[in-house]
Amino acid sequence: MANKLGQIKIAKSYVNALFGALTTKKDSDGVINDLNDLGAMIANSAELKTFIESPLVCLSDQKVGVEKLAKKAKLSKVVTNLLMVMVENRRLSLLPVVVSEAQKYISQQSGAIPVTITTAHKLTAADLKKISNDLKTTLGQDVTTEAFIDETLIGGIVIKAGSMLIDGSVKAKLNQLERELTRKTA
């Protein structure tokens, strides 16, 4: 977990630098579109994911690969520069985390509430959309959701929206039952 937190901290510094370098709304919109496209490319391409995550790819190959990717995807100069800095710093493997943190940053700037949804099994896109819509209605604000899988939950769902936590997992219910039983026998 500490490693993940360290990655998030590093990713946030890249995101802050990226958005700090932007001067116009048009630039910001282009960067947002580029980052969304990059996120989709990474999610849909096992080859790209392997390319950015493998420590075996040498620096020169990463530079060439990023240049080709930027040209083919028509990425903005700012995003291309970000990728090249990440290559130079040997941090390209953090690109999925940077994209995720950038999306959180954008959501926070737009006033949307970040929501994490954790389940024991992968949710379908339809289920995730329904939960998002229900949360938007309940909270009265736009939400951005991020889904995680934690098999230790056994079943059910855990939703964290801002400082609010809703734990409807089987694991939590079993823990509560255990506490009640030990309290009655003590």
Extents of the domains making up the chain: 2-107, 112-185
| Per-residue confidence (pLDDT) for residue 186, from 0 to 100 | 62
Quick: pLDDT tens for 108-125: 787 888 888 999 998 888
* Degrees to nearest 5, angle at CA 95 with 92 and 101: 145
From the number of C-beta atoms within 10 Å of its C-beta (0-12, 13-18, 19+), residue 11 rates as: buried
Per-residue pLDDT band for 1 (boundaries 50, 70, 90) equals very low
Domain 2-107 grouped into CATH 3.40.50.1100:
no
Average pLDDT score over the chain: 88
Rounded CA separation 145/27 (Å): 25
DSSP code of residue 120: S
Quick: pLDDT tens for 117-160: 999 998 888 998 999 999 889 888 888 888 888 889 999 999 99
Tokens 């950015």 found at: 52
| Per-residue confidence (pLDDT) for residue 3, from 0 to 100 | 53
